Structure 1
């Protein structure tokens, strides 16, 4: 694909741009959830919708710890929503959430994926560096037959 001023734009770049745009919109949505819904519950309990006004003075310096608390609550909410979304997508079977990266096979010293159960080069059984939930029966069966 050719983009602006004849620069070649690959599918990866378009996917990355779309991911960035959707991520920004999603962050705005979660920020609205935090400010317009959750923090309003905080206002109902504590009497103010955010903690931005909380501060103390130390040696003529104003320490605004309330703004930090508000930002931390927003960050934790964003993390919780993203965690729940990934769990939901994984349970629905959507997306590719396999471990990324490689490691060295302890037997033949070739590189294999971090979640590999068997080396693709020497076919030796290896312990995965990052085991997935669906691999647990295979690993348990391997240890039972090895005894």
Structure 2
């Protein structure tokens, strides 16, 4: 059982996932610092000292802190946008895969697919030029 677990843990996609989780957590901490350290104070300066996290509504004697939800949504949007930019850059950097050589061609007479080496169409028996 220990051997099976070692094989599972050392599989490439599991290691990649673990690295992604660790980097995602670190990136989340950076975004939290950005929102709480820079964006919230800017909003506080523009709104007489009220930051996003402090927004709340008192309903039937209970404080509904909707500002915390707004802050979480802002963090999510920033993270999603950065991930979008990273994936877009990676896709752009990838070399396009070469198209495989065709194995069939279209008969100019009956418009059916035939082997590329064919000199006569097996469907309409037309003679094909090389």
**Normalising by structure 1, what TM-score?**
0.52
**Which 5+ residue runs of structure 2 have no aligned equivalent?**
97-101, 107-130
1:17 and 2:18 matched: yes
Match of 2:36 in 1: 35
State how many pairs are aligned.
98
Contact 1:50 1:70 survives alignment (8 Å): no
Q: Tell me the distance in 2 between the aligned counterparts of 1:49 and 1:78.
A: 24
CA shift for structure 1 position 49: 6.6
CA shift for structure 1 position 84: 2.4
CA shift for structure 1 position 17: 1.0
Residues 38-67 of structure 1, C-alpha deviation per residue, up to 9 Å, x if partnerless?
223222322337322222222222222222
Match of 1:113 in 2: none
Three-state SS of the structure 2 residue aligned to 1:52 is helix
CA shift for structure 1 position 95: 9.3
* Higher alpha-carbon Rg: 2
Q: CA RMSD in A?
A: 3.3
**Normalising by structure 2, what TM-score?**
0.57
Q: Tell me the distance in 2 between the aligned counterparts of 1:24 and 1:95.
A: 30
Q: Tell me the distance in 1 between the aligned counterparts of 2:65 and 2:105.
A: 59
Moved over 6 A (4+): none
Match of 1:74 in 2: 75
Three-state SS of the structure 1 residue aligned to 2:52 is coil
